[in-house]
């Protein structure tokens, strides 16, 4: 991931409702969710949700797939992992640091493009 991609992704997440939508889709996992499910779960108008889903998709954070009459949105976990990797790449400038170790409720996301795993604390 380069700086421009990171800025675009972070800008898309820098809005409260979009961050809430993204986190709901992270929780949904690989199954993803339809806009109808997200409207019900988050209590937002469908027109507003549609706009925010478009912004997250254009930032490369979500994929969209048509399943019959429905659209299913999913987090692109490889992109999310790359963004997290970009943010922590030079953590503590290579020296040991005092970051908290993820607890037992951590989620391990595999990035198939780079063959690395990043642990995320939920």
- pLDDT tens, position by position, 104-117: 344 555 444 444 44
DSSP single-letter state for residue 99: P
CA-based nearest residue to 21, from 50, 59, 64: 50
Q: What is the pTM of this model?
A: 0.78
Q: Report d(CA 113, CA 119) in Å as an integer.
A: 16
- Would you report the helix, strand and coil content of the chain in percent, each value rounded to 5? 50, 20, 25
- pLDDT tens, position by position, 4-24: 999 999 999 999 999 999 999
- pLDDT tens, position by position, 47-106: 999 999 999 999 999 999 999 999 999 999 999 999 998 888 877 776 666 665 443 344
């Amino acid at each position: 991931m380069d700086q421009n991609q990171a800025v675009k992704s972070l800008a898309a997440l820098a809005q409260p409702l979009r961050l809430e939508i993204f986190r709901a889709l992270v929780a949904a996992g690989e199954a993803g969710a339809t806009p109808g499910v997200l409207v019900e779960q988050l209590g937002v108008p469908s027109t507003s949700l549609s706009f925010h889903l478009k912004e997250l998709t254009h930032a490369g954070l979500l994929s969209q797939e048509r399943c019959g009459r429905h659209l299913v949105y999913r987090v692109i976990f490889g992109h999310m992992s790359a963004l997290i990797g970009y943010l922590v790449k030079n953590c503590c400038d290579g020296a040991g640091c005092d970051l908290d170790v993820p607890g037992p409720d951590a989620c391990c996301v595999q990035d198939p493009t780079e063959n690395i795993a990043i642990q995320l604390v939920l």
